[in-house]
């Protein structure tokens, strides 16, 4: 696999998915600073300076050149030009053609089908452009909206791990969801 350098922006019905830019700082801070958004993410509630530092790291995550890397894209609402979230794709393994998907969305934009649009486009990218065989998602089992979204995308719950991670000061359980390339193709061919 040669890796992945998408042609940006990736467009869905209402969204543009694109690499982050420094002028995304205000929009990023608007959701990175919300406890209800970051409750199940691997980062804490961030102040403006912490968000700026995180944003600087994201600026280089616009392509996948080797396994182990994450592609991190801004989810921009085309109608307003506002960055309302992020969607991620990890190239976990070249040999086994494995990937992982993740997402975070500002609470004001949840429940409108926007995360599904972004996640579906990143699944397409992983399967159709990167050539992955399997894409998984790992989430806290209390994160019911994300679990429901993954199920709507056709992903199957493969595992329920109990007290597997010490996360934000407590032992937590995780669900692992996954979708195979042939399952993806079967759902997108009609």
Residue 189: pLDDT band with limits 50, 70, 90: confident
Domain boundaries, the chain: 10-133
Mean pLDDT of the chain: 96
Q: For the segment 90-128, what is each residue's pLDDT rounded down to a tens digit?
A: 999 999 999 999 999 999 999 999 999 999 999 999 999
Mean pLDDT of 139-148: 97
Q: For the segment 156-173, what is each residue's pLDDT rounded down to a tens digit?
A: 999 999 999 999 999 999
Mean pLDDT of 126-142: 97
Question: Looking at residue 92, what is its pLDDT?
Answer: 97
Segment among 1-10, 64-73, 127-136 with least mean pLDDT: 1-10
Residue 70: pLDDT band with limits 50, 70, 90: very high
Indicate if the pLDDT at residue 155 is higher than 70: yes
Residue 188: pLDDT band with limits 50, 70, 90: confident
Mean pLDDT of 78-85: 97
Q: Name 79's Cβ contacts closer than 8 Å, sequence gap at least 6.
A: 14
C-alpha torsion 15→17→18→19, nearest 10: 130
Q: So what CATH class is 10-133?
A: alpha beta
Indicate if the pLDDT at residue 1 is higher than 60: no
Mean pLDDT of 68-83: 97
């Amino acid at each position: 696999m040669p890796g992945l350098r998408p042609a940006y922006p990736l467009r869905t019905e209402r969204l543009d998915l694109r690499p982050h830019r420094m002028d995304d700082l205000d929009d990023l801070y608007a959701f990175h600073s919300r406890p209800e958004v970051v409750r199940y993410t691997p980062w804490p509630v961030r102040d403006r300076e912490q968000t700026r530092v995180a944003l600087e790291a994201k600026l280089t995550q616009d392509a996948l050149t080797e396994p182990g890397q994450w592609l991190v894209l801004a989810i921009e609402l085309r109608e307003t030009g506002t960055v309302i979230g992020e969607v991620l794709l990890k190239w976990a393994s070249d040999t086994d053609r494995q990937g992982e998907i993740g997402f975070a969305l500002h609470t004001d934009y949840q429940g409108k089908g926007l995360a599904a649009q972004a996640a579906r486009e990143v699944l397409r990218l992983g399967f159709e452009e990167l050539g992955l065989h399997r894409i998984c998602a790992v989430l806290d089992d209390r994160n019911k909206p994300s679990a429901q979204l993954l199920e709507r995308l056709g992903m199957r719950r493969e595992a329920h791990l109990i007290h597997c991670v010490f996360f934000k000061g407590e032992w937590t359980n995780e669900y692992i969801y996954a979708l195979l390339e042939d399952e993806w193709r079967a759902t997108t061919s009609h």
